[in-house]
Amino acid sequence: MADRLVLEMMGEDMKMFDVEQVKALNDLERMVYEYVVKDPEKVKYMRIRELADEVHVSTSTILRFCKKMGCSGYSEFKLQLRDYQTRKDQANVRDDISEVVDFLKKTAAQEFEDKLEMLAEVIFHANHVFLVGSGMSGIVAKYGARYFSSMGKFCLYIDEPHYPTESSFLKDSLVIVFSVSGESGDTIRHVMRFKEQNCRILSITNTENCTIAKLSDHNIAYYVSYMRLGDYDVTTQIPAVSIVERLGKKKFKIILTQGLNRQIRRMCKELGFHVTGIKRVRIMNIHLGNLKEGSFREITGEEYRTLLAQLEQSKSLSERDLRLKNK
């Protein structure tokens, strides 16, 4: 237990407590040590009597503990504790920022841009898109489903480990998988079940040398340092969120209710987008599917009846709006 607590108060390049020092503590002094480790922010503002009362030991025990930690007294111990906490916080912030900056620089490369463009095409043309992840990666997956849906590509987030995947509905589907380690058991089982249904897999992981990446048809790896706080993975998710947003902005749908000349291009220009291609996917309720340019097909009786009903409804709404306007 003591060794574990020591490690929780140590960074790679800095440490507050030494394992050998902790091993030399008696039972009462170890009680002081464990209290300090659990709540260092509180301890660095406490007086010696307050700490003694909290731990239920004497002030003499506190002083012996401080001396075994290499300090002349309690005041020096608190100064060292404050200094350690400050250096630790600064190091963590500096590491996070520098790694995120490095990642963003890497994504500015044309090779990465081309890869995102290709994967955006895969997402856009998939019949159905599912997003999967667990823990913190699950939160990113849920955000991704909402973000893609907002950009016009409806997606479904799956957070249930035993979600049924045996269905013809999954034909030509894409599954986007989020995992920092790429070794999450539940997520791997998801991937295996979807692969059995011939779904394409796009994984977004911290490394390409992981099980999920190797099971995937496509992978984007972002490479940042793993960070843990106790038993929890607190590795930054900024790269994964950035990838989601950049993929979402590559392709999106616009539904026109009135076809004005070059309306789509003008709208996109106002939003800061450059249009490289436009594809019509439906006319009202009639979906074009894979119909090639210059080709045609006959509409079905059901499509015709639905079209007439929608036109009648549109006419009624227009007449109502006109009456309201003239009032």
**pLDDT for res 13:** 45
- Mean pLDDT value across residues 235-259: 79
pTM (whole model) above 0.75: no
pLDDT value at 58 more than 60 = yes
Higher pLDDT, 293 or 175: 175
Query: For domain 2-94, which CATH number applies: 3.90.650.10, 3.40.50.2300, 1.10.730.10, 1.10.10.10?
Result: 1.10.10.10
| pLDDT, tens only, 85-115 | 777 765 554 456 777 888 888 888 888 988 9
Instruction: Report the topology of domain 109-250.
Output: Rossmann fold (3.40.50)
- The pair of structure tokens assigned to 255 is 């539904």
Q: Rounded to an integer, what distance in angstroms lies between the CA atom of residue 157 and that of residue 146?
A: 8
CB 46 within 8 A of CB 77: no
pLDDT value at 145 more than 90 = yes
Highest mean pLDDT among 51-60, 217-226, 253-262, 296-305: 51-60
Q: Rounded to an integer, what distance in angstroms lies between the CA atom of residue 73 and that of residue 295?
A: 88
CB 240 within 8 A of CB 137: yes
Q: Rounded to an integer, what distance in angstroms lies between the CA atom of residue 116 and that of residue 122?
A: 10
Q: What is the mean pLDDT of the chain?
A: 81
Task: Please report which helix (H) or strand (E) contains residue 179, including its range.
Answer: strand 173-179
| pLDDT, tens only, 266-325 | 777 766 667 767 777 777 778 887 788 888 888 898 888 888 887 777 666 556 555 655
Q: Tell me the DSSP string of 199-261.
A: -EEEEEES-SSSHHHHH-SEEEE------EETTEE----HHHHHHHHHHHHHS-----SS--T
Sorted by where each begins, the domain ranges of the chain are: 2-94, 109-250, 280-326
Q: Which of 40, 9, 13 is nearest to 22 (CA)?
A: 9
Q: Rounded to an integer, what distance in angstroms lies between the CA atom of residue 288 and that of residue 54?
A: 73
pLDDT value at 186 more than 80 = yes
**pLDDT for res 280:** 74
CB 9 within 8 A of CB 40: yes
pLDDT value at 3 more than 70 = no
